[in-house]
Amino acid sequence: MLVGPSGSGKSTWAAARYRQQEVVSSDALRAVVGSGENDLDASADAFALLHQIVTGRVRRGLTVVVDTLGLDPDLRDRLREQGRAAGLPCVAVLFETPEALCRQRNATRDRPVPARVLGQQVAAFARAVEAVPGEGWDEVHTVREDAGVPAPSPAQVP
């Protein structure tokens, strides 16, 4: 379960470490069932698919990296309990990317998240950082990225 505001580097991190089929992304699924990654009207359909994909992979004991904002505690609980019920290790990865870097990256994107929305995500992330360690994950990892400092190589991420 990836957890971090928009622009914190979640999708980039996942793409560098996992096969495409191991990553289930709500943004990518919005583009599949809607007009694009930012088609918020397609969220319900995208999340229905996300749950179907997670269910199928978890049932088979396959790795699944859930690439959403991860900021909704109910979604985290639901997915963790699903993994737990299947006997899989459940891992949360927190992206503690500086807000300024998230904003800078966001600004260069085709369809930037509005500044106010990013602010709400940053606030929700601060709550998640407090909550996640007590939620019952088998492991909680923190990825810290700063401008100019490359993300850790896969070998450094347990």
Q: Is 27 in the site for ligand CTP (CB under 6 A)?
A: yes
C-beta separation of 14 from 67 below 8 A: yes
- How many Å apart are CA 34 and CA 40, to the nearest integer? 8
Query: For residue 77, what are the CA distances in angstroms to 73, 81, 122?
Result: 6, 6, 20
Stretch that binds ligand CTP, among 4-12, 48-56, 123-131, 133-141 (CB under 6 A): 4-12
Q: Is 80 in the site for ligand CTP (CB under 6 A)?
A: no
Q: Is 8 in the site for Mg ion (CB under 5 A)?
A: no
- How many Å apart are CA 103 and CA 97, to the nearest integer? 10
Site string for ligand CTP, 29-68 (x = CB under 6 A): ----------------------------------------
Q: Is 11 in the site for Mg ion (CB under 5 A)?
A: yes
Stretch that binds Mg ion, among 8-16, 30-38, 126-134, 139-147 (CB under 5 A): 8-16
Interacting partner of 57 out of ligand CTP, Mg ion, none (Cβ under 5 to 8 A depending on kind): none
Kindly give the residue spans of alpha helices, DSSP state H, lying in the chain: 10-17, 26-33, 43-59, 73-85, 99-107, 115-131
Which residue is associated with the tokens 């347990």? 158
Site string for ligand CTP, 120-139 (x = CB under 6 A): --------------------
Which residue is associated with the tokens 């369809």? 111
